[in-house]
């Protein structure tokens, strides 16, 4: 797979282009992403991995919970995104685009 659970991604295509999400799982070849607001954990967005930019940062708390099959709240996702977005300008330069 292109990304890992808990990884920060930015949408490159669709109505949500430019928005940031966390990877919360996979369905077939699709990546499940959530932001805790418009896309809650209960209703994640299925995205083609080619339409996502994968950043080299992970939400460790969220990742540990998801890998342990512990439920993750929307507040957990929002808090993790907020923490990660503080350094996004620096991360954008390290972004690896999958084509």
Given a cut of 50, whether residue 78 has pLDDT beyond it is yes
Task: Tell me the pLDDT tens digit for each residue of 24-48.
Answer: 999 999 999 999 999 999 999 999 9
d(CA 17, CA 19): 6
Q: Is pTM beyond 0.85 here?
A: no
Domains of the chain: residue spans and CATH: 7-93 (2.30.30)
Of residues 32 and 2, the one with the higher pLDDT is 32
Write out the H or E segment, with its range, that includes residue 67: helix 60-67
d(CA 79, CA 85): 10
Confidence of residue 87 (pLDDT cuts 50, 70, 90): low
């Amino acid at each position: 797979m292109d990304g890992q659970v808990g990884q920060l991604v930015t949408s490159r295509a669709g109505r949500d282009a430019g928005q940031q999400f966390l990877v919360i799982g996979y369905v077939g070849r699709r990546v499940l992403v959530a932001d805790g607001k418009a896309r809650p954990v209960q209703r994640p967005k299925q995205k083609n991995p080619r339409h996502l930019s994968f950043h080299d940062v992970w939400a460790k708390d969220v990742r540990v919970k998801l890998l342990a099959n512990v439920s993750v709240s929307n507040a957990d996702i929002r808090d993790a995104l907020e923490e990660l977005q503080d350094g996004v300008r620096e991360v954008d330069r390290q972004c690896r685009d999958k084509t």
